[in-house]
Every structure is written in C-alpha cells, then in structure tokens.
Chain A
Amino acid sequence: MKTHDKTAGEKLKLGIFVIAGLVLFIIGVYLIGNQQSMFGSTIRLYASFQNINGLKTGNNVRFSGLNIGTVKSISMLNDSIIVVGMAIDQKSSHHIHTGATAAISTDGLVGNMIINIIAGKNGGTAIAEGDTLLSFRKLSTDEMLSTLNVTNENAAMLTADLLKITRAINAGEGPFSTLIKDKAAAEDISLTLRNIHQTSAAALRIMQHTDQLILSLNDKNGLAGLAKDSLTANHIRSVAVNLDKTSAHLNEVVADLQSTINEIRHGKGTLNYLVNDTTLAIKVDTTMGKLDLTLDQLHQAGIKLNENLEALKHNFLFRGYFKKLEKEKAKK
C-alpha cells in the first residue's frame, strides 16, 4: 500500500514537474512569437531601399516609436534596389497612411537595425495589403563620422588661428591689443559709453515729450479736440469751401492774365508792337541816346547860365535889385 502511495505521489510530482516545464516553454515561445507578430493578424507592406545597412529578417518595424511589426523578407530586385517585406499588425496598420515613409535606422547608438515608419504630412488614405511605402535614406554612422572629421579639421584650423591672434594680442600687436591694454583707449570707451548713456537718456526724454504731445493732441481742448468738435469742424469746412471758391476765382484771373499775355505776345495791337518789334527798340534806344546827349548839353548850358547869373549879380545895373531881394528875405 505504501509503495502504491509512493508511486502515485511520484507520478503526481512528475506530472507537475513536466507541466511546469512545458508551460514555461510555451509561455516563452508565445512571448517571442508575440514580439515577432506571429500570432495576431498582420498585413504585408513593402519598401525599397538602395542600402539596407545589415537589416535582417526579424528586425522590428516601428511607427511613432511603437513596435508594430517585423521584417519578414529581404530580396534584391536589382543591383541598386532591395525590397524589404514587413508584417505589420493589422490593428496598427489603420493609422498608417499612404504618405508615410520608411527609413532604416538603429535602435539606439549601437542597437539592432530597425525600420522606422514616419507618418506623412499630407495624410492620404490608409495603407492596404501589399502597398509599397516611400522610403528615404538616413545618414549612416560612417557618413556622420566623415562629416565630423571635416568639422574637427575646421575646428583645429580655427583654434590655430585663434591661438595666433591671442598671441599677437598678448604681444601687444594690432588695434585689439591697444584696445585691451591702453588705458586711454579704455577711458575713451568709457566716455563713449557715458555719452551713449546720456544720449539714450535724452532720447528717452524726447520720447516722453513726444508721448505727451501725442496725448495732448488727443486731449479735448487741444488741436485734435478742436478738430473733433462739430461746430469748429463746420467752421473749418466753410473756410475750406471759401478757400476753394477763392482758389477757383484766382484760377480764372490767372487764366485771363494768361490769355492777355498771349494776346500781347501774338496779337497785332500797340502793346504787341511795343513789346515784340526790335526795330522800335533800336529806334527808342537811339532816341534815348540822343536824349541823353541833349540833356548833357542842357546841363552844360545850365552851368553856364548860372555863371552868367552870378556875373549879373556883380553888375552895377542889377546889384541894387539883388540887395533889395536879400533885405526882404531877411525881414521874413
């Protein structure tokens, strides 16, 4: 009886042992299969690349950072196109649209290769079984290192130049050195800064005054206030109307004057003859010359006449008469 119980107990323990082992194995297989999208319904998508950078079947496919599938097939179409087939979880596939693009990258800096699907900007319709996604090529690590190498070389050259400049400044060469070491220059800079400070203060005051001026313009009693007043506005409007009328009259007067001048210029009247005839001008000029000569001669005759009159004053015949005139003038 004891042997039978012992055997039954052993069988039970053996059963538990075997079941535990199998359950753990099945859980492991399920979890791995689930990671590789083997148990859910999937759809097949494709993307073409020029270089897949060591991508292998089983690598993950990500959309917005979420694992949504795995790489299922890799086939070389020709020497420059490699077609990658992906099994995408059907539930997630509804969120991927035809404008989406696929890129091969690494999971972290040194991780496995993955395919990143990036949502398109222009939307589009949801992808369907067998669709081919657009693809783009990301910079590889080698290319990044190459670029970094160029950057490093440039940085080295810049550093060398900077070192030269620093040494020159320390040695007292060039204007920068003067600027740094010369006390007078420093004082000048300080003075300039003070002036700038004062200028800015003055500018601030001007701005404040301008601000006040603008505020006063907006004031009811100010100029703008007057402009806003309806009575004043009516007065200004009537003044403007009068000014407009006056301006019209002035225009008419100017037009009349213009026509008169035109008639003088182009007409056949006396004025036109006086203004435009050159022979008349010459004759007048000649006459004026003669007149001028005649006047000179008259002036000479006048001087001589004065001399004659002076001589008469001293003549005994007329001397009495002139004395009599002087006495009457003195009495007055």
Chain B
Amino acid sequence: MKSILIEIGELSYFAGRFFREVGKRPFEYKEFLRQCYNMGNRSLLLVGITGFIIGLVFTLQSRPTLQEFGAVSWMPSMVGISIIREIGPIITALICAGRIGSGIGAELGSMRVTEQIDAMEVSGTNPFKYLVVTRILATTLMLPILVVLSDAIALYGSYLVENLKGDVSFQLYFNEVFGSLEFGDIIPSTVKSFFFGFAIGVVGCFKGYTCGKGTEGVGRAANAAVVYTSMVLFILDFLAVLVSDIFYDL
C-alpha cells in the first residue's frame, strides 16, 4: 500500500515537473513533430482498423435485438451516441496505451538503462524537456485527433452494415446520427480524450524515465506503462462521466 502511495506521489511529482518544464524555452519543435508523427500517423492504421471493426461488430450484434423490438431505425442514433460518447475514446485510448505507452516506456527505459539520459544531462541537454515534454504533448494532442478519426471510421463501418442489411442511405444514416447527438456528447468525449492522451504520455514516460536497472527493468517498465495507463484511463473515464453529468444533464 505504501509503495502504491509512493508511486502515486512520484507520478504526481513527475506530472508537476512536466507543467513546470512545458512553458520553458527552448521548445523542441522537431522532436515534438517527430513524436506527433510517430504517435499520430503511425497509430492511425491500427486505430482505424479497430474502429472500423468495432462499428461493424457493434451494429451486427445490436441489430437482431433492435429488430425484435421493431426499432432498427434507432440503430444510427444508438451507435452514434455509444461510439461518440464512450466506445470511440476509450477503445482508441486503450489501443494507444498498448502501442504508444509501451513504446514510450520501452524506449525511455532502454535509454535509461544504456545511460543515454545521463549522457544528455552531462552534455547540457535537458532530457526531461527533450524526451518527456515532447512525448507527453504529442500524446495529449494526437489522441483527440485519433479519437475523431476513429469515431468517423467506426460510424462508417456501422453504416456499411446498415446499408447491407437494411436499406438506409448515407445521408439518412448520418442525419440520424447527428440528429441524436448533442454538444453534451461530443464536448465531454473530446475533452476527456486530451486527458487520456496526457495520461498515456505521463504514465509511459514516468515508467520509462524511472526504469530499473538491466534489460529486465526495460520490459517491466513497458509492461507497467500499459497496465497502469489502462487503469488510469478507466479511472479518468469514470471521473469524466461524473464531471460531464454535472455540466451536462446526461
């Protein structure tokens, strides 16, 4: 219990250091853009395929139940609200936690193990600013974009199933989707995506940056980054629902 509390304290200190460093010069634009490309563009295929399959499967699974009630026309509304509000952000964040979080943990961990971070400090470069701030900023900004793209692809997948099984046009389907959505759906989900991205970056960087000695520590750091990030994501999601419930009457 004590170790968990110590871990949480160290993580909070690590996050606080990020906020202190983020406003200080020099800004590592090139590294930031490189990380954005790695985390955003290179995750798009995986996120896109996952979103598309989720749209297909979700519609295929829900359709028979809705058919029993004669409510197939509610499918776009149901899928739209489910994906935009919850499934899109959380699934995308979990995939990014697996791909990006573990990648950051492993990369920074190996740099720590091979003393590259120490070498950067010796050479006068701020490794926290160069390695951590850029990665956390990149995950924070890229994840919402990945969520938006993933939502769009998932809705398109759902539309394909509806079009094949039923007889609904593209325009009608998306009119139904956006007709059922409100700002209370899209704004909280977008805002929490920033927090999810931040959590992935912070936990991944923390685990890699504070990696133990040896190759075993690198593997443990990568694994812990994924596990802790996933847990933090669910906690954040719960808090996001509570907060949005206060601001928007859901």
Chain B residues contacting A13 (CB-CB under 8 Å) are: 37, 41
Q: Which residue of A lies closest to B182 (CB)?
A: A58
CB <8 Å contact, B44 and A17? yes
Q: Which residue of B lies closest to A67 (CB)?
A: B179
CB <8 Å contact, B146 and A36? no
Which of these, A10, A28, A32, A57, contacts B148 with CB under 8 Å? Answer: A28
CB <8 Å contact, B33 and A11? yes
Is A204 on the interface with B (CB-CB < 8 A)? no
CB <8 Å contact, B178 and A20? no
CA distance A75 to B165 in the complex (A): 45
The DSSP consensus for interface residues of chain B is helix
Instruction: List which A3-62 residues lie within 8 A (CB) of chain B.
Output: 7, 10-11, 13-14, 17-18, 20-22, 24-25, 28-29, 31-33, 35-36, 56-58
CB <8 Å contact, A25 and B34? no
Which of these, B33, B144, B186, B249, contacts A32 with CB under 8 Å? Answer: B186
A71 to chain B, nearest CB (A): 12
CA distance A14 to B36 in the complex (A): 7
Chain B residues contacting A14 (CB-CB under 8 Å) are: 33, 36-37, 40-41
Chain A residues contacting B236 (CB-CB under 8 Å) are: none
CB <8 Å contact, A17 and B249? no
Q: Which residue of A lies closest to B179 (CB)?
A: A35
Given A14-B37, A31-B178, A56-B249, is A21 in contact with B183 using a C-beta cutoff of 8 Å? no
CB <8 Å contact, A28 and B37? no
A34 to chain B, nearest CB (A): 8
CA distance A28 to B148 in the complex (A): 9
Chain A residues contacting B181 (CB-CB under 8 Å) are: 28, 31-32, 35
CB <8 Å contact, A18 and B182? no
Is B190 on the interface with A (CB-CB < 8 A)? yes
Instruction: List which B168-215 residues lie within 8 A (CB) of chain A.
Output: 174, 178-179, 181-186, 190
Which of these, A21, A29, A56, A58, contacts B186 with CB under 8 Å? Answer: A29
B42 to chain A, nearest CB (A): 9
Chain A residues contacting B183 (CB-CB under 8 Å) are: 29, 32-33, 36
Given A10-B34, A11-B33, A33-B183, is A17 in contact with B178 using a C-beta cutoff of 8 Å? no
B173 to chain A, nearest CB (A): 13
CA distance A13 to B40 in the complex (A): 10
Which of these, B34, B84, B146, contacts A21 with CB under 8 Å? Answer: B146
Is B22 on the interface with A (CB-CB < 8 A)? no
Chain A residues contacting B37 (CB-CB under 8 Å) are: 10-11, 13-14
Instruction: List which B27-54 residues lie within 8 A (CB) of chain A.
Output: 30, 33-34, 36-37, 40-41, 44
Instruction: List which B226-250 residues lie within 8 A (CB) of chain A.
Output: 249
CB <8 Å contact, B190 and A25? yes
CA distance A208 to B84 in the complex (A): 81
Which of these, A17, A31, A35, A36, contacts B40 with CB under 8 Å? Answer: A17
B230 to chain A, nearest CB (A): 23
Chain A residues contacting B34 (CB-CB under 8 Å) are: 7, 10
Chain A residues contacting B186 (CB-CB under 8 Å) are: 28-29, 32
Q: Which residue of B lies closest to A18 (CB)?
A: B145
CA distance A207 to B154 in the complex (A): 80
Is B149 on the interface with A (CB-CB < 8 A)? yes
CA distance A17 to B184 in the complex (A): 26
Chain B residues contacting A58 (CB-CB under 8 Å) are: 182, 184
Is B152 on the interface with A (CB-CB < 8 A)? yes
Given A14-B33, A18-B40, is A32 in contact with B182 using a C-beta cutoff of 8 Å? yes
B107 to chain A, nearest CB (A): 17
CA distance A17 to B148 in the complex (A): 11
CB <8 Å contact, A28 and B145? no
B182 to chain A, nearest CB (A): 5
Chain A residues contacting B149 (CB-CB under 8 Å) are: 17, 20-21, 24
Given A11-B33, A14-B33, is A36 in contact with B178 using a C-beta cutoff of 8 Å? no
Most buried by A among B30, B178, B190, B249: B178
Chain B residues contacting A17 (CB-CB under 8 Å) are: 40-41, 44, 145, 149
Chain B residues contacting A18 (CB-CB under 8 Å) are: 36, 40, 145
Chain B residues contacting A31 (CB-CB under 8 Å) are: 174, 178, 181
Q: Which residue of B lies closest to A34 (CB)?
A: B178
> What would 21 A/B residue contacts be, using CB atoms closer than 8 Å?
A11-B33, A13-B37, A14-B41, A21-B145, A21-B146, A21-B148, A21-B149, A22-B148, A25-B148, A29-B183, A29-B186, A31-B174, A31-B181, A32-B178, A32-B182, A32-B183, A33-B183, A35-B178, A56-B249, A57-B249, A58-B184
**Which residues of A are at the interface with B, using a C-beta cutoff of 8 A?**
7, 10-11, 13-14, 17-18, 20-22, 24-25, 28-29, 31-33, 35-36, 56-58
Given contacts A17-B44, A24-B151, A25-B190, 10 further A-B contacts (CB under 8 A): A10-B33, A11-B33, A13-B41, A17-B40, A18-B145, A20-B145, A28-B178, A28-B181, A31-B178, A58-B182
- Shortest Cβ-Cβ A-B pairs, 7 listed: A21-B145, A31-B178, A10-B37, A14-B37, A25-B148, A21-B148, A24-B148
